[in-house]
Structure 1
Amino acid sequence: MFISNAYAQSNPLESLGGAGGFLGQYGFLILMFVAMYFLMIRPQMKRAKEQKTMMEALAKGDEVVTAGGVLGRISKISDLYLTIEISNGVEMTVQKSSVTMVLPKGTLKAL
C-alpha cells in the first residue's frame, strides 16, 4: 500500500548491440597491449637497431668502451671479434657485441 515497487534499470550498453559489450569487456585489455607496445617493445627495438648500426660502423682506430668497462682503441677487426689495445702493446680480444659505446676521437690520449 504505502511502499511502491522498485524496478531495475537496463544496462545502456546492451542497447548498442554486441559492439558495446565487446568494447566494454575487452577495451581495457586492448588498451593495455597498445600501451605496452609503445612504452616497452618499440623503444627496445629502437635501441637494438642503434646497437646493430654502431657495431657495423666500427673501424680500426675507434676508441670504445666494453660491457665490462674496459676502455681501448680497436687494432684489429674480424666478423665476430675485436682486438682492443688497452695500453701500450697490451691487447685484448673481445666479442663485437660487448662494445657498448664508441668514444669521441682523442678521448684516450694515454695509449
Structure 2
Amino acid sequence: MHLFATEAYAQNAIGGTAGGGAGLLGGLAGIGQFLPIVLIFIVFYFLLIRPQQQRQKSLKTMVASLKRGDRVVTAGGIVGVVQKVREGSNEIEVEIAPNVRVQILRDTISSVVKPPGAANDSVPAATK
C-alpha cells in the first residue's frame, strides 16, 4: 500500500472519466466553478453599469432640451447661462460672465443646474 494516492487515482475518485454517471457530476462541478463569477458580473451590472447608463440617458435628454436661460456646468467646471441654442448644430452660446459669451459643444456639458426656486417647488406650501 502506498502512503500517497497517485494522481490518476485521485482524478478517478473525484469523478473523472471512469465511473459511469460520475462524468456528468464532474461536468456540473465545472459549471459550478463559474457560478460565482457570473453572480459577481450580475451584481456589477445592477450596481454600477445600469445606473451609469441611466444617468447618461437622462443627461442626453437634458442637453437635447436646453433652452435660453438654463444654467449649465461644462466638463471643465465653468458655470454659465445659455444665451443661444442653434438647432441642428452641436454648438451652444453660453454667457460665463457679464458680456462674456463663449461657444461650447453640447458634448462638454456635464450637468444642468436647477434654479433655487425649482428645488423648493417640491416642498408642500404648509411647511414653507
TM-score, normalisation: structure 2? 0.62
Residue 113 of structure 2 corresponds to residue 103 of structure 1? yes
After superposition, the Cα gap between the structure-2 partners of 1:106 and 1:93, relative to the gap in structure 1 and judged at 3 Å, is farther
Counterpart of 1:86, as a letter, is: I
CA distance in 2, matches of 1:27, 1:42: 21
Query: Which residue of the other structure, out of 12, 35, 58, is the alignment partner of 1:50?
Result: 58
SS in 1 for 2:58: helix
SS in 2 for 1:86: strand
After superposition, the Cα gap between the structure-2 partners of 1:34 and 1:60, relative to the gap in structure 1 and judged at 3 Å, is same
Question: 1 or 2 for the larger relative contact order (CA 8 Å, sep ≥6)?
Answer: 1
Higher helix share: 2
Q: Which residue of 1 aligns with 2:102?
A: 92
Counterpart of 1:91, as a letter, is: R
After superposition, the Cα gap between the structure-2 partners of 1:106 and 1:44, relative to the gap in structure 1 and judged at 3 Å, is closer
CA distance in 1, matches of 2:84, 2:116: 18
Count of aligned positions: 98
Q: Within 5 Å, give how 1:34-49 maps onto structure 2.
A: 34-49=42-57
For structure 1, the 5+ residue unaligned runs are 1-7
**1:60-86 deviation digits (Å, cap 9, x = unpaired):** 111212111212111111221111012
Query: Which residue of the other structure, out of 58, 81, 91, is the alignment partner of 2:91?
Result: 81
1:18 Cα deviation from its structure 2 partner: 5.8
